[in-house]
Amino acid sequence: MNDKISIVNIAKQTIEAEASAILNLSNLITDDFAKAVKLIYNSKGRVIITGVGKSAIIASKIVATLNSTGTPAVYMHAADAIHGDLGLILKDDIVICISKSGNTPEIKVLVPLIKSTKNKMIALTGNTESFLAKQANFVLNTFVEKEACPNNLAPTTSTTAQLVVGDALAISLLKLRGFSSQDFAKYHPGGSLGKKLYLRVKDIASQNEKPQVSSSTNIKNVIIEISAKMLGVTAVVDNEKIVGIITDGDLRRMLAKTDDFSKLTAKDIMGKNPKSINFNAMAVDALELMEINDITQLLVEENGKYAGIVHLHDLIKEGII
C-alpha cells in the first residue's frame, strides 16, 4: 500500500467517486431550489446558515461565498444556537440548516426553536425523508450514494455535495442580482482578484518617478536620468509629447556598437513609437499589453501628454500577477 502507484490510484478513485456524485446532483435540483433562491432574493433579511460537525464547516464557507457575492449571510453553529446564539436570528432572516442525515440531536432540538420564531427555513440535506426535511419550507437535496471514505464513514463526498449546492445557490443569487465585476471588487478591495478589477494605471504610475529627457539631450545626461529615477528606462519627450523611449538595453547596445558616444543624443538611440497606455486604463490591461509585446514597462499618457511609467515590478508588487 505504500508504493506510489497505489497512492496515485487511491487519489484518482477518490476524485472520480466525488465527481460522479457531484454530476448526479443536477438530477436532484427541483422547484424547491428555485423557490428557495427567490425566497432569499426577495427577503429583506439575512441568510443564517447552521450545521454541526463537518456540515458546520461547509456552512461557514457558504456564508463567506454569499457575503462576497452580494447576499448578506451569517454563520451560526447549531450546538451554539441552542445555548444562546439563537438570538442571532432576526425577524426577516431566512435559516438554512445543513445536515447529511437531517436527524442529528442538535438539529432535532434546533428546528422546533426556529419554527417557533416563524422564520422561513431551508433544509440542505441528503435525506429528504428526515426530520429536518419534513419541517423545512424548502428542501435542497444533497444525496450521495456513498462517501469516498472506504468505510463509508468520514464525511467526504457528502460535504463536497453540500458545498456544490451552496455554490449553485450563491451563483443563482448573483445572477438574479446582476452582481458585476465592479461589485465584486468592492467586496474584495485587498485581494489580488479585487485589484484586477479596480486598480488603475494611474494608481501605480503616480507613485513612480517620472524619468524624461528631450530628443536633444546628450547621452551622458540620458544615463544620469535613467540611473537617478531607477526604473531602467526614460521617456523621450518634446513639447509634452512622447516621441521615443530609451531603456537600459538601448544603452548596452549603443556601447557595443560605438566607442565614442560623446556627440550622440537621445534621438540617435531611442526607440520610436514606444508602447504606451492611458492613465485611466486598468492595471490588468497594462499587464496584458506587456505580455503581448514581451516588454517590462509601459509609458503612460494622460490627455495625449506624458504622465509617467508603469513597470512590471509594480504589477508584481501589487499582486496583479
Task: List average pLDDT for each run of 10 residues in the chain, which is 321 residues long.
Answer: 82 94 95 97 95 93 92 89 79 95 91 90 96 97 93 92 97 88 60 64 86 92 92 91 91 87 89 90 87 90 90 81 66
| Residue 75: inside a domain | yes
Q: pLDDT for 188-203, tens place per residue? A: 555 555 566 667 888 8
Please state whether 53 falls in left (phi above 0), alpha (psi between -120 and 50) or beta.
Answer: left
- Does 169 lie in the same domain as 54? yes
**Which of 121, 148, 179 is where one domain is finished?**
179
Q: What is the pLDDT of residue 81?
A: 76
Q: Which one of 136, 152, 179 terminates a domain?
A: 179
Name the amino acid, one letter, at 181: S
232 located within any domain: yes
Residues contacting residue 267 through CB under 8 Å, at least 6 positions apart: 215, 216, 236, 244
Contact criterion met (CB below 8 Å) for 214 and 237: yes
Same domain, 51 and 102: yes
> For residue 277, is it within any domain?
yes
C-beta separation of 211 from 225 below 8 A: yes
Do 156 and 29 lie in one domain? The reply is yes
Instruction: Residue 255: give its domain's CATH number.
Output: 3.10.580.10
Give me the pLDDT at residue 260, please.
83
**Same domain for 284 and 212:** yes
pLDDT number for residue 319: 73
The reply to whether 192 falls in a domain is no
186: in domain: no
Question: Which neighbouring-strand residues pair with 298?
Answer: 310
Q: Is 311 annotated as a binding residue?
A: no
Within 8 A by CB and 6+ apart from 261, the residues are 219, 254, 255
pLDDT at residue 65 in the model: 93
Residue 218's closest CA among 260, 257, 251, 266?
266
Structure-block grid coordinates of residue 80: 451554539
Q: What angle do CA 294, 312, 68 make, to 5 degrees?
A: 115
* 138-141 and 233-238 beta bridge pairing: unpaired
Cβ contact 296:306 at 8 Å? no
- Residue 187 falls inside a structural domain: no
Does residue 164 share a domain with residue 238? no
Residues 170 and 248 in one domain: no
Tell me the C-alpha distance between 62 and 86, whole Å: 19
Are 238 and 312 in contact by the 8 Å Cβ rule? The answer is no
Asked, for residue 188, whether it belongs to a domain, the answer is: no
Q: Give me the pLDDT at residue 122, please.
A: 97
Considering the domain architecture, whether residues 47 and 141 belong to the same structural domain is answered as: yes
What is the residue range of 211's domain?
A: 198-317
Are residues 110 and 51 located together in one domain of the fold? yes
Query: Any idea what DSSP says for residue 92?
Result: T
- pTM (predicted TM-score): 0.65
What is the CATH number for 139?
3.40.50.10490
Residue tagged 422561513 (cell numbers): 120
SS3 241: strand
Is the domain of 147 the same as that of 224? no
- For residues 121 and 55, membership in a common domain is answered with yes
Q: Could you say which of 149, 179, 209 is where a domain stops?
A: 179
Cβ contact 96:49 at 8 Å: yes
Are 308 and 208 contained in the same domain? yes
pLDDT at 100: 95
Is there a domain that residue 27 lies in?
A: yes
Q: What's the total number of domains in the chain?
A: 2
Q: Indicate if 167 and 222 belong to the same structural domain.
A: no
| pLDDT tens, residue by residue, 6-53 | 999 999 999 999 999 999 999 999 999 999 999 999 999 999 999 989
Q: Where are the alpha helices (DSSP H) in 153-299?
A: 157-177, 181-187, 192-198, 201-205, 219-229, 248-257, 266-269, 283-293
300 Cβ contact partners less than 8 Å away, ≥ 6 residues apart: 201, 202, 205, 276, 277, 278, 279, 306, 307, 308, 309, 310
Q: What's residue 57's pLDDT?
A: 95
What distance lies between CA 35 and its chain's CA centroid? 28
